[in-house]
Amino acid sequence: MSSGASNFVESVDNVFILSVAICVFFLVLITVLIIVFSIKYNRKKNKKAVNIHSHAWLEITWTVIPTILVLILFWYGWVGYKDMVTIPENAMTVEVTAQMWKWSFKYENGKESDSLYVPLKKPVKLVLHSVDVNHAFFVPAFRIKKDVFPGTERSAWFIAEIPGRYVITCAEYCGLNHSNMYSGVVVMFENDFNSWYSAKLDNSQQMNKSLNSEDPNPEQE
């Protein structure tokens, strides 16, 4: 299952596998017990089940075991969550804007794109905004998902481990064309990314950057 596309794949998949393993174990156990008891206490055998009252060890067992399992899952989840919210200080910052129905990305040098371009094996911090309704930034291959709300700044981060292109989608229903709200993460070797990053801005981006620098106090909408 683990593709290793980002630094979070292993930790997220391990918790998922552990949860599924626990569920499968109890599914099999309960199913087997149901079959065994159905056969053993079948009415045709004239056997009568006996009610058990106040069995201390039984009560302790079915209380302690689930509690331990829940605490184990909580611990793994908490450790993974702490990693996901602890953003490295040297991370490259990209502003992500969500709107019906597209994603747009703005870099520290003013460059903008419709796809997210990132260097291989370098931490990337995403500063997420929404200009209209609730969205959710989701990169399945990276195992990262973050809800994006209007008027609220949210952050996420990752380190891409394998070069290639990966799907970005919106995981929160945001209107009529929600299912078409796709983009991509393009993971590039560092030299290739530096060349792309330092390439000349197109005319429209240069004009917008110039207007913003000339008007330090733009009108607020």
- Residue ranges and CATH numbers for the domains of the chain are 9-85 (no CATH), 92-200 (2.60.40.420)
Check pLDDT > 70 for residue 202: no
Give one word for 68, left, alpha or beta, with left for phi > 0 and alpha for psi -120 to 50. alpha
Give the residue-averaged pLDDT of 118-136.
94
> What is the model's pLDDT at position 1?
43
Check pLDDT > 70 for residue 201: no
> What is the model's pLDDT at position 203?
41
* Beta-carbon count within 10 A of 97 CB: 17
Check pLDDT > 50 for residue 215: no
pTM value? 0.75
Higher pLDDT, 24 or 207: 24
CA distances in angstroms from 220 to 98, 104, 153, 217, listed in the order given: 19, 21, 18, 9
- Please name the residue ranges forming H helices in the chain: 9-40, 56-85, 190-198, 203-214
Average pLDDT, the chain: 85
- Among 176-180, 189-193, 198-202, which stretch is predicted with the lowest mean pLDDT? 198-202
Each residue's pLDDT tens digit, 97-124: 999 989 999 999 889 999 999 999 999 9
Backbone angles phi, psi at 95, to 5 degrees: -85, 130
The alpha carbon dihedral of 188, 90, 141, 17 has a sign of positive
Higher pLDDT, 67 or 205: 67
CA distances in angstroms from 89 to 39, 92, 157, 188, listed in the order given: 63, 9, 11, 21
Cα Rg of the chain, angstroms? 26
Q: CA torsion, points 130, 136, 140, 141, in degrees to nearest 10?
A: 30
* Helix, strand, coil content of the chain in percent (nearest 5): 40, 30, 30
Cβ 148 vs Cβ 154: under 8 Å: yes
Give the residue-averaged pLDDT of 21-31.
95
Chain centre to alpha carbon of residue 64: 31
Higher pLDDT, 212 or 88: 88
Give the residue-averaged pLDDT of 122-138.
94
Q: Helix or strand or coil: residue 219?
A: coil
> What is the model's pLDDT at position 137?
95
Q: Reduce the secondary structure of 181-209 to three states and give it as a string.
A: CEEEEEEECHHHHHHHHHCCCCHHHHHHH
> What is the model's pLDDT at position 30?
94
Check pLDDT > 90 for residue 165: yes
Check pLDDT > 60 for residue 209: no
Check pLDDT > 60 for residue 171: yes
The pLDDT confidence band at residue 220, using thresholds 50, 70 and 90, is very low
Check pLDDT > 60 for residue 216: no
